[in-house]
Chain A
Amino acid sequence: MTAASVLLWLSSAVIVLGLGYTGVMFLLSRGVRRPAAPAAPAPFFVFLMACLDEEKVLAASLQRLRALPGDLAVLVVDDASSDATPDIVRAAAAEDERIWLLRRTLPEARRGKGAALNAGLAHLLGSGLLAGRDPDQVVVCVLDADGRLDTDALAEVTPYFADPATGAVQIGVRMYNRHAGLLARLQDMEFVVYTDVFQNGRRHLDSVGLGGNGQFMRLSALTALGADPWSDCLTEDLDLGVRMLATGRRNRFCPTTAVHQQAVLSPRRLVRQRSRWFQGHLQAGRLLPLVVRRAPAKAAPDLVYHLLSPWFLLLTSLLPPAFLASGLALVLASVRAGGSVVSPAVFAVWYALSFGVGLVYGYVYWRRDRELGLLRCLLLGHAFVLYGYQWFAAGWWAVGRAASGRQTWLKTART
């Protein structure tokens, strides 16, 4: 076997690994079991919202949180907004003493979401707002300003915190404007697939990740990470989730409730947003030494794979051009031969490998959201395959930014 043929076989193995990982996660994700209802009292929930110019969505969000059943408070960290954000919080606080405001000012403010969340946590611990409460019985929930929690969210996550080993619980994420067009619908499908397949699958590997929205954390687990648990990583949520696992705490995924957020409606803004996430994922690679040494042994292989996966994704971006080149060769050969030189079986293999996973994801989406019907969900699965290519553009954009030393991003604006 020549070196060239070894390399060619390895390129085929890329697809085996990619599809095999997805298949294993799909199988692991089946059969969700909810924890039994706890006998212990429910924890005290503190919603932590880092806000910068959120006047379009904040008033309604605060109103929804106040209407939630349960023992809760809301701390809004205003990161030096230039709009009416602090006034909205003050007005809500005047009506409800469970609404708290922390105002940050320049030059300390506007240094990223992680810095704002750290300031909020320091305020919680130092201001006496939690006086007399057991840190094991306080749960901090990070919520985006436009986040819309299901009304049963607190009741659904509470049983997970009955286990003292639980450090954090991540709930599902949906797009509340998923009816606004194909792009919004595909983002909704993306989050449903990610949570229902991959997060559910990771429950068995103890490698559940945390997201930036709908992230519930036990206060004692947060403070165990130091005075500033959120890092300056562009994906501070991914970073925090991995570090929490490395302290021996468990991250849990609760699939039975969700937070709803706004989908991006422009392709350019979507790629820009994903590029920021991708660059954050590249930054999170610095956690690899911690993971291989301190993460639970059961979780380590999946976490290592997850942290290296941006590089794997960049690698797979070479496959579509290879497909186009070989497709061109195929067409030319067929033209010269006066008929197709490819048997129907090859087309069948191509379809199965290209869109087979899309069919599975269509089925997963249909199970979660019956409003579209199975046939439309399966068709949507085909569009989802093509939608996946935006990650290639986002990935290379992020690599360009990282290579040129650009580490800061503006947040995604509300519409």
Chain B
Amino acid sequence: MYSGSALAFTGAGMGAVSAAWTALPSGEQAAGTSGAVLPAAVDAARALLMVTGAGFGIFLLVMTALLAAGAVLRGADAVRRRRALPAARHAAVTPDGTRAGAEALR
């Protein structure tokens, strides 16, 4: 049983502070007050977050596109079924005019 993806979000909150650090000064701004390591760390965090954000944007786009495509295909299938129904009814009328095989239309 695969049960991981949703559960791993338990750990995702660990990155929340990083997200909050989007408010941090950029590396260049921080350099003036905090030496060399600080701006490097801030820049690394921001870079990782921006990659995550870009990936998430793509994820949302793919999911939306799939659901939209699915809605169009379902609509097309429904229209096709509706059009096929009168034809099936017509075919089910026997030469003497009586209806047969109603079960087949379901």
Contact = CB atoms under 8 A, between A and B. Distances in A.
A220 to B, nearest CB: 17
Interface string B9-30: 1111111111111101000001
A7 B3 contact: no
B66 interface: yes
Most B CB within 10 A of own CB, among A280, A308, A316, A357: A316
Contact of B70 (A4, A292, A346, A353): A292
Given A7-B49, A308-B62, A281 B13 contact: no
A129 interface: no
B16 A350 contact: yes
Interface of A is mostly: helix
Nearest to B50: A7
Contact of B17 (A278, A311, A346): A346
Nearest to A284: B2
Nearest to A5: B22
In which size bucket is the chain A interface? 35 or more
Interface string A193-205: 1100010000000
Most B CB within 10 A of own CB, among A5, A7, A237, A310: A7
A409 interface: no
B53 A8 contact: yes
Given A8-B22, A11-B19, A297-B74, A332 B37 contact: yes
Given A385-B11, A388-B10, A326 B3 contact: no
Contacts of A391: 4-5, 7-8
Interface of B is mostly: helix
A293 B12 CA distance: 32
A25 interface: yes
B4 A326 contact: no
B34 A300 contact: no
B99 to A, nearest CB: 26
Most A CB within 10 A of own CB, among B5, B45, B52, B54: B5
B13 A14 contact: no
Contacts of B44: 321-322, 325
B84 interface: no
A322 B63 contact: no
Interface in B65-103: 66-67, 69-70, 73-74, 77
Interface stretch (A15-23, A58-66, A160-168, A175-183): A15-23
Nearest to A198: B6
Contact of A318 (B3, B48, B66): B48
Interface of A: 4-15, 17-19, 21-22, 25, 173, 190-191, 193-194, 198, 209, 211-213, 235, 237-238, 274, 277-278, 280-281, 288, 291-293, 297, 300-301, 304-306, 308-313, 315-316, 318-323, 325-330, 332-333, 336, 346, 349-350, 352-358, 361, 384-386, 388-389, 391-392, 394-395
Contacts of B17: 323, 326-327, 346, 349-350, 353
B37 A319 contact: no
A303 B56 CA distance: 18
Nearest 3 CB-CB pairings of A with B: A319-B15, A292-B70, A211-B1
A384 B37 CA distance: 32
Nearest to B42: A329
A144 to B, nearest CB: 11
Contacts of B5: 281, 306, 309-310, 312-313, 391
A348 B102 CA distance: 67
B2 A277 contact: yes
A318 B13 contact: no
Contacts of B57: 7, 10
Given A8-B22, A311-B59, A319 B9 contact: no
